């Protein structure tokens, strides 16, 4: 199947961030795009405004008569009525990751992997390439603030993609340049053990094309893979804060920016300015710098425009930034991400009382990491816990947000219903609030901002 020959395409789960980027790609190719999603959102409304046909109830009568390809995300249950009907009637069905693999196979692919940091690093890589005189196509896992989109259509042979480890999706990719940011265990409902997660990442790294390059965070257990790559004529480099082949040095805060030097084996680039807080975002910058530089991006453009990078929506996104109140929204849904987000807030605003709101995502993740969630949330001054957002899962007996709350040592902690959150947080009149989670907590952010911005 040639993707450019597809005239009508159907997406089951079109409102997902990865699926919607693919939908936009096929719309740019001139295809007629149809799709289902469970909920109408700002993103699905944007897709409809771009000419796509979307409905929100399982209804096989809404499926177009002639469909060349069906794209499905595993986030949608296998017993979904439309998916079952399409399979029964022999329609060609591919997972989102398979389609992304087909698209990237004909291009020079930069794939960004890791339990955390994929979206920011992918978007930074895109930013460096564009400002370094390379025009890539990009499929992002979030809405880039500088572009107000999760899809960018470029004119070069380069494509930037997120290499998602969920359901081993990233094994459909064969990149020329790859990044691995982190290897913290996640998706244990899929992998079964942390060792299996690491094994999958190693397999991903070994799929780098001949002559290609791997960048991985210093200290990750990937030296055996790096040696294999080097022995086969490929390349492997590490990055880190004052460690590795690409290093960040002299990190400090100045005029609302994180300022640091990048030191490579051959050159030092001084006084780079990043508007995103946190040591993890410095590491993301190092990874993106290495990937873009290897792809041939112009260094002067990369250096000059870094300070204008505004990040990704729901990645330490400032909703309110005023003298008396700061509200930051973040997608953090893993203990390591929560810890990094809180530390970033402490870096920029060390004197503020930090009130956090967290909505756990998935029963299985809550069960597997309850101790780690509790330890990360204990870094707050006060915490409001919402009920678990189930996504694709059914409840697990004995697993609820109470499990995390009971393990927390923090005294100022509260379990609240979604409908009570805005009032409960607002009555404290805090000077800084972090909202965190990957579920539907984002629907509470604007009402919370209106309550706090009095």
Nearest CA to 349 out of 450, 433, 448 is that of 433
Q: Do 33 and 9 touch, CB atoms closer than 8 A? A: yes
Percent of the chain with pLDDT over 90: 76
In 131-243, beta strands by DSSP E: 137-144, 149-152, 158-163, 177-180, 213-217, 235-241
Structural domains of the chain, with CATH: 3-96 (3.40.50.720), 106-308 (3.40.1190.10), 317-452 (3.90.190.20)
Which pLDDT score is estimated for 76? 87
For the stretch 221-273, pLDDT in tens is 999 999 999 999 999 999 999 999 999 999 998 887 999 999 999 999 999 99
Tell me the pLDDT band of 370, cut-offs 50, 70 and 90: very high
Tell me the pLDDT band of 187, cut-offs 50, 70 and 90: low
- Alpha carbons 454 and 449: distance in angstroms, whole number: 9
Q: Cβ atoms within 10 A of the Cβ of 204, count?
A: 25
Output 190 or 180, whichever has higher pLDDT. Answer: 180
Dihedrals phi, psi of 83, to nearest 5 degrees: -60, -45
Which pLDDT score is estimated for 188? 67
Dihedrals phi, psi of 186, to nearest 5 degrees: -160, 165
Q: Is residue 454 over pLDDT 70?
A: no
**CA Rg, the chain, in Å?**
22
Q: Is residue 151 over pLDDT 90?
A: yes
The gap from C-alpha 327 to its chain's centroid, in whole angstroms, comes to 20
Tell me the pLDDT band of 1, cut-offs 50, 70 and 90: low
Mean pLDDT of 69-82: 90
Nearest CA to 143 out of 260, 310, 382, 25 is that of 310
- Alpha carbons 180 and 113: distance in angstroms, whole number: 5
Q: Do 157 and 191 touch, CB atoms closer than 8 A? A: no
Q: Do 199 and 205 touch, CB atoms closer than 8 A? A: no
Which pLDDT score is estimated for 75? 81
Mean pLDDT of 293-308: 96
For the stretch 408-448, pLDDT in tens is 999 999 999 999 999 999 998 899 999 999 889 999 999 99
Measured between its terminal Cα atoms, the distance across the chain in Å is 57
Q: Find the helix or strand (DSSP H, E) in which 329 lies.
A: strand 326-330
The gap from C-alpha 97 to its chain's centroid, in whole angstroms, comes to 15
Tell me the pLDDT band of 150, cut-offs 50, 70 and 90: very high
Dihedrals phi, psi of 244, to nearest 5 degrees: 100, -175
- Alpha carbons 23 and 35: distance in angstroms, whole number: 9
CA distance readout (Å), 268 to 66, 289, 294, 305: 57, 13, 16, 17
96-105 helix and 17-28 helix, angle to the nearest 10 degrees:
50
Q: Do 433 and 355 touch, CB atoms closer than 8 A? A: yes
> What is the pTM assigned to this prediction?
0.82
Beta strand pairing status for 257-263 and 268-274?
A: antiparallel
Q: Do 287 and 110 touch, CB atoms closer than 8 A? A: no
Which pLDDT score is estimated for 205? 96
Percent of the chain with pLDDT over 70: 98
Tell me the pLDDT band of 184, cut-offs 50, 70 and 90: confident
- Alpha carbons 248 and 240: distance in angstroms, whole number: 7
Which pLDDT score is estimated for 209? 96
């Amino acid at each position: 199947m040639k993707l450019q020959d597809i005239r009508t395409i159907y997406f089951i789960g079109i409102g997902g961030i990865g699926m919607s980027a693919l939908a936009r790609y096929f719309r740019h190719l001139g295809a007629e795009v149809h799709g289902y999603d469970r909920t109408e959102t700002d993103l699905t409304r944007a897709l409809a405004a771009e000419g796509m046909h979307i409905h929100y109830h399982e209804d096989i009568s809404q499926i177009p008569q002639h469909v060349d390809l069906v794209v499905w995300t595993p986030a949608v249950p296998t017993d979904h009525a439309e998916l079952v009907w399409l399979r029964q009637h022999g329609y060609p069905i591919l997972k989102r990751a398979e389609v992304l693999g087909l698209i990237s196979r004909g291009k020079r692919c930069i794939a960004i992997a890791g339990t955390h940091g994929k979206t920011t690093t992918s978007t930074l890589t895109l930013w460096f390439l564009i400002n370094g005189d390379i025009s890539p196509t990009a499929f992002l896992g979030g809405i880039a603030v500088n572009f107000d989109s999760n899809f960018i259509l470029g004119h070069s042979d380069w494509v930037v993609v997120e290499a998602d480890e969920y359901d081993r999706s990233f094994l459909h990719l064969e990149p020329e340049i790859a990044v691995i940011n982190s290897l913290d265990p996640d998706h244990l409902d899929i992998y079964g053990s942390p060792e299996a997660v690491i094994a999958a990442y190693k397999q991903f790294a070994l799929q780098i094309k001949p002559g290609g390059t791997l960048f991985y965070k210093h200290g990750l257990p990937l030296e055996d893979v790096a040696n294999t790559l080097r022995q086969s004529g490929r390349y492997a480099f590490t990055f880190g804060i004052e460690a590795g082949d690409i290093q960040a040095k002299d990190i400090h805060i100045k005029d609302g920016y994180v300022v640091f030097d990048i030191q490579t084996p051959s050159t030092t680039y001084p006084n780079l300015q990043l508007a995103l807080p946190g040591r993890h975002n410095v590491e993301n910058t190092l990874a993106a710098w290495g990937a873009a530089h290897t792809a041939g991006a112009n260094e002067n453009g990369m250096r000059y425009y870094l300070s204008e990078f505004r990040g990704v929506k729901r990645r330490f996104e400032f909703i309110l930034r005023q003298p008396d109140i700061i509200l930051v929204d973040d997608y953090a849904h893993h203990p390591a991400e929560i810890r990094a987000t809180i530390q970033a807030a402490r870096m920029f605003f060390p004197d503020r009382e930090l009130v956090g709101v967290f909505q756990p995502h998935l029963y299985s993740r809550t069960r597997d990491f309850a101790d780690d969630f509790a330890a990360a949330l204990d870094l707050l001054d006060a915490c409001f816990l919402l009920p678990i957002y189930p996504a694709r899962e059914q409840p697990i007996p004995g697993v609820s947000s109470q499990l995390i709350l009971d393990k927390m040592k923090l005294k100022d902690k509260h379990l609240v219903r979604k409908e009570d959150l805005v009032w409960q947080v607002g009555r404290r009149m805090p000077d800084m609030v972090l909202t965190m989670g990957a579920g539907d907590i984002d629907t509470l952010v604007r009402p919370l901002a209106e309550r706090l911005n009095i």
